[in-house]
Amino acid sequence: MKYSNVLTACLVSVGLTLFTTVKCIADEHPQVIQGEHGHYLQVNNQPFLIRGGELGNSSASDMKYMESIWPKLNAMHLNTALVPVYWEQLEPEEGKFDFRQVDALIKEARRYNTKLVILWFGSWKNSMSSYVPRWVKRDAERFPRAVSEQGIAQEILTPFHRNNVEADKKAYVALLQHLKKTDAKQQTVIMIQVENEIGMLPSARDHHPLAKQAFVAPVPQTLMDYLIAHKDSLVPELKEAWAQNGFKKAGTWNEIFGANIWTEERFMAWYFAKFTDEITAAGKAVYPIPAFVNAALNHRNVLPGQYPSAGPLPQVMDIWKAGAPSIDLLVPDYYNPDFKHWSDLYTRQGDPLFIPEHKFDDTVSAKALFAYGHYDFLGFSPFDIESPDDAANHPLGKTYKLIQQTEHLLLNSKAGVTRDGVWLTKKTPEAHIQLEPEVTLILKHDNTLGWNASSTQDEWSHAGAILVKVDKETYYIIGTGVVLTLQSNVPGKVYGFDRIDEGEFVKGTWKAGRILNGDQSHQGRHVRIPEGEWGIQKFVIYPY
Ligand code: DGJ
């Protein structure tokens, strides 16, 4: 995984041309940068934090249908829409490209001051190949299908046949060429997702004759070289399998990783990654905007073949990284509740987190706050974003409004150092953040006070907050449904709140409102943003 650096890109550009700064800026394109405070997206030469939402699958195929959706995105304070571009619509006849959908999306997005992340529904969408054009679908001889263990052809293009990769690549490159021509200056399209939830079903691996041949061949040298070079930092699931088979430096898939169903997933992951990488690299050669691949998370204790296997899942992350170096991000889609568990797995090798899909349920507002605060984070995006009837009052919009106001703080603080996030539920109502060695902040769900009628209910709303440190004594808390108290770590020393202000940021400048004391701080005992309210408070602590 490579992250470019603006300065380098500019210097190269200056070196190659005689047009200095102007040429350099004109040549820029969206990119992922590894900065002093973590990774960030750069768009129009500025850091950009995504407040996103993904459209339902079919919405973007009809601009009339989209008319009522754009204002909803604005009402919920989104700055980015994740929208599919469908191969079947882009290339209805082989070699004849129709960019009307893409152009209309870009035009409308600009009108509503919204950026776009394009989702390339190409060869695969949720494992299946339902978005390939009819001329591909109806010619299985030329564009062969993956085959199950029982020998049955699936509605899934095999990644092992050259015709398949060439056809997808041609369309993808045409799309990137068009984006470069029509959008490089304005940069409305800021990233592209290559395919959608790639995965093998109903068998763990493809049994097409070409796949069978590859399975008994030696593990490709590129992957072996990667394993050897990254031996110490491989994900434990992969390293263990390799260790159990003696860290061999050459051999077939079964010899290197052991003859079991997990090896079948590893094998498939490599060939899906190679296919995706070839397309992405060809697109990047034309217009190198950031590219990512999303994964449908498997449930725990379920075997490959019973879930869409071999997408960029944590257990095969190294295989994807080795096979698809032109992909910038490998990311999770959330339709299961283990949000922290999976997010930790996706970031355990120091990668930034981006969440292109999360089920649009009651938890998103709190989880988004947690993720923006806790992780090296590029952005959040619930799926089916157009679904709320009352977009103007949706909790996600309230969270996004806070993110919008404080993005300069978030972009200039480092996760785990000068910024953190919490997500509080009835099951996990308390979290601790050490502010300084001498003092720890205790953050609790507002219902732990027992003051709200909802405290006695079986279910609690989810609460979430971001803490940003200004200096040893000064902090911002941003969020909903939290109560903060201080715990001294030094015997004989007590910490209290010197001052608490509520307020807001207007164009990056703090505008204080009420000074919170008395009942609002429980006579100085706590800082509180009640359940059902979203806000920002600045507080100063002191020892006595
Ligand atoms: C995950 C897919 O990536 C989306 O396109 C959509 O099909 C959702 N699942 C539906 O829940």
Q: What is the pLDDT of residues 148-198, one digit of tens each?
A: 999 999 999 999 999 999 999 999 999 999 999 999 999 999 999 999 999
pTM (predicted TM-score): 0.94
Q: Which two tokens stand for residue 93?
A: 């006849």
> Residue 136: in which H helix or E strand, if any?
helix 134-137
Phi, psi of 499 (to 5 degrees): -160, 145
Question: Cα of 296 to ligand 1 centre, how many Å?
Answer: 9
Residue 111 CB-half CA count within 13 A? 11
Q: Cα(first)–Cα(last) distance of the chain, in Å? A: 49
CB burial of 279-312 (b: ≥16 within 10 Å; e: otherwise) equals: bbbbbbebbbbbbbbbbbbbeeeeebbebbbbbb
**Secondary structure (3-state) at 179:** helix
CA of 68 to the centre of ligand 1 (A): 21
**Any idea what DSSP says for residue 426?**
S
Residue 52 CA to ligand 1 centre (angstroms): 16
Give the distance (Å) from ligand 1 centre to CA of residue 253.
31
Ligand 1 atom closest to the CA of 335, numbered from 1: 11
Is ligand 1 within 6 A of the CB of residue 193? Answer: no
Ligand 1 atom 2: the closest Cα is on which residue? Answer: 126
197 lines ligand 1 (CB under 6 A): yes
219 membership: H or E segment, kind and range: none
Residue 184 CA neighbour count, 13 Å, CB half: 15
> What is the torsional sign of CA 292, 296, 299, 303?
negative
Ligand 1 within 6 A of CB of 381: no
Query: For residue 225, how many other CB atoms are within 10 A of its CB?
Result: 12
Residues (pLDDT < 50) of the chain are 1-26
So what's the pLDDT on residue 151? Answer: 97
Please indicate whether residue 126, judged by its CB atom, sits closer than 6 Å to ligand 1. yes
pLDDT value, residue 18: 34
Q: Rounded to the nearest whole angstrom, what is the distance from the C-alpha of residue 384 to the centroid of ligand 1?
A: 9
- At residue 298, the pLDDT reads 85
